[in-house]
Structure formats: C-alpha cells, structure tokens
Structure 1
Amino acid sequence: EQLGISESSVCKALKKNCSKRTNCSGVRKTSARDNKQLRKIAVSNRFKSTSELTDLWNKQTGADVSRSTTYRRLRELGFKSRVPAVKPLLNKKQMEKRLKWPKEHGEWTTEDWQKVVFSDDSPTQPQSGRPHKMNECGQWSLRCIVPVWWLPGEQY
C-alpha cells in the first residue's frame, strides 16, 4: 500500500511473470510424420468414425493417442465431419442429361423460373442417424455419396 498499488494487482503481476511453466500447452504426442500418416488413413477410410481412425492410427504408428487428439489433428489437417450426401445411383447417360438440362435453360429469366414447379416425392428425414464421414473442407467426391435405391413415396 505504500506504493499505491493494490495487493491483487501485485499478485496478478507475480503470477504472470513468475510462472513455473514455460509453455502452457503440453508436449505434442504426434510428429509431422504421424500427422501425414493420419491424413492418408482418413482419406482412405472416409466413412470410419474418429474412434476407428484412432485405432488404425495407433496400430500403424505404434503411438497411444486418444480419440480427442485424433479429432484435433484431423481438424488441424483441414478435415471436418460431415453427413454424406444420399443420392440415387445414376448411370452416365442420366448424368449427361442432368448436365444438359440446366445448360439449355441457363438463359431463363426469374419470371420463367417462377412458373416452374419443382417436385420431389422422396421423404425428408431430419436427423436420420446416418453415419458421418471425414472430409477435407471444400472437397467433394463421388466416393463420398451414399447411393440409395427406393421407389417414390417409400421410406428408405
């Protein structure tokens, strides 16, 4: 009090400057090489859960990392867990027709599009319980689609 500084300010300054720990984050259990291996595992096993990826990674590297460490490393590598798209399986001819149609109608005005009725007889299922997959942000691939076969109006 003789200096005009409160006791709490002195304590905060001492704690800040006299920390016994030089680095608050612990020592990383994985190296850059281990992380590259995890990337390969995640890309080749997109539909595996984080727990399954952890088991594969631990077996291949001989490390003993937790599921949460695996999840953090996947996020650092740019992966994100996503629900795979569920789409009907199309052959090449059907894909070509689907690409051709919007090209033919690309010059339509907003008024033209307002006259179109889009219908989809397939049911919607929020929170369908489908498995997630690991995917790099901004990446899309045909391998990441779950093909479905159903008749219109039926649950799949």
Structure 2
Amino acid sequence: MGRGSPIPPMLRQKIVEQYQKGVSQRKMAKSLKLSSSTVHNIIQRFRESGTISVRKGQGRKTILDAHDLRALRLHCITYRNATVMEITTWAQEYFQKTLSVNTIHRAIRRCRLKLYRSKKKPYLNMIQKRRRFLWAKAHLKWTVAKWKTVLWSDESKFEVLFGKPGCHVIRTKEDMARTTQVVISAQFRSLHL
C-alpha cells in the first residue's frame, strides 16, 4: 500500500469476505469508497499470507539503533554544555555515519533529553553559602526601621556582566535544579552615590 494511515481491520475483513463471495474488486472499491489498488493490495496480501494484518517493519529504518542512542545519551549527560553542533561532530566521528544536526536533535529528544537555557547566577562554594546562611540568621530579628537604612542594589547603579549569554544545557525534565547546569557569571559593581 502507499503512504497514509492503514486501513482498519474491520474494513479489511469486509474486503476479504466480499472477495470470498466472488464480488469484483471494482464493486468492492466503489461500495467501500476505497481505491481499486487498495482493495487489490489487501486481496493479494490475503492470498499470499492468509492474514489481513498489516506487515510489521514497514517504513524507513532509523540511522541510530538502541546501542547508539545509549552512547549518545551518555555523551550528552557527560558534556551537558555542549552544543548540538559539537555533539553532531562527535557523533559523526564516533559512529562513523553521516549525521545531520536535525538527526542528532531528534535523537536527543528520543533519549528523553531536552535543550534548556542555563540559569545565570554566580557560582557559590560551600564557604560562601555558609557565610550567607550565617548572615541571614544574624539579621533575622532586624526591625523595619533598621532595614530602611540599608542601601539596596536596585537603589544604586550596578553594572552586571554575564558570560556566554544564551548558553544551553542538555538535561532531563527532572534535573531542573542541579548546580552543574548553571552558567557561572561574573559580577562587577560600580557604586555611584
């Protein structure tokens, strides 16, 4: 048969029943509102195999098999900040196959991975996190009047420079808040009073 959705099994059964009764293929095609070639193909398959089911394995085979997809997934997880173009060049060398960027992008999605934009925030080590926690704990009981004496960053001019704008990271939906998937940004302040 050609492209398109397969004929439902009930309709195939009707075609076979009418064929066994001796109805011509043209009359079957007209009564069931199908093309005569479709009716002919279903009857021919019934004569050859004895069944009306659709043959398995129809369609184009994928370039990357299950083993290749596992290797690609492992590479994407290891090198999360790599672009699709970089992954494509790696895959062409590793698999020894001609692969396009679109093929690799579809394969990444088949591996249940997606491209997400990295969160931009400065890298904090454990010492800095501890200091921030202690500072917050020390200022927990401050009054509103005391907080009004603080010069906030939005009240002064700050120049913030981030590295690699628009950087992507490859991850699953569940890996949302991992610290390894963050674009490390450098912040430079210039305070003007």
TM-score (norm 2): 0.54
Seen in structure 2, the aligned counterparts of structure 1 residues 151 and 143 have a Cα distance that, compared at 3 Å, is same
| CA-atom RMSD in angstroms | 4.1
Q: 13, 18, 33: which one pairs with 1:9?
A: 33
1:83 to partner: Cα distance: 0.8
Greater fraction of residues in helix:
2
2:123 is aligned to: 89
Matches within 5 A, 1:9-88: 9-11=33-35, 14=38, 18=42, 25-88=59-122
The alignment-based identity, stated in percent, is 17
The Cα shift of 1:10 comes to 2.2
Aligned length: 137
After superposition, the Cα gap between the structure-2 partners of 1:132 and 1:153, relative to the gap in structure 1 and judged at 3 Å, is farther
Name 1:144's counterpart in structure 2: 181
Secondary structure, in 3 states, of the residue corresponding to 1:54? helix
SS in 2 for 1:146: strand
SS of the equivalent of 1:71 reads: helix
Unaligned 5+ residue runs, structure 1?
A: 106-118
2:80/2:171 contact within 8 Å kept: yes
**Structure 2 residue runs without a partner (length 5+):** 1-26, 46-54, 141-151
Between the aligned partners of 2:37 and 2:72, the Cα distance in structure 1 is 42
Specify the SS of the correspondent of 1:130. Answer: coil
Instruction: Name the structure, 1 or 2, with higher relative contact order (CA <8 Å, separation 6+).
Output: 1
Tell me the secondary structure at the aligned position of residue 90 of structure 1: coil
Larger Rg: 2
* CA distance in structure 2 between the aligned counterparts of 1:33 and 1:85, rounded to whole angstroms: 32
Q: TM-score, normalised by structure 1?
A: 0.65
How far apart are residue 89 of structure 1 and its match? 2.2
How far apart are residue 28 of structure 1 and its match? Answer: 1.2
Cα distance change of structure 1 residues 36 and 99 upon mapping to structure 2, 3 Å threshold? farther
- Matched-pair contact (CA < 8 Å) for 2:80–2:170: yes
> Residue in 1 aligned with 2:48?
none
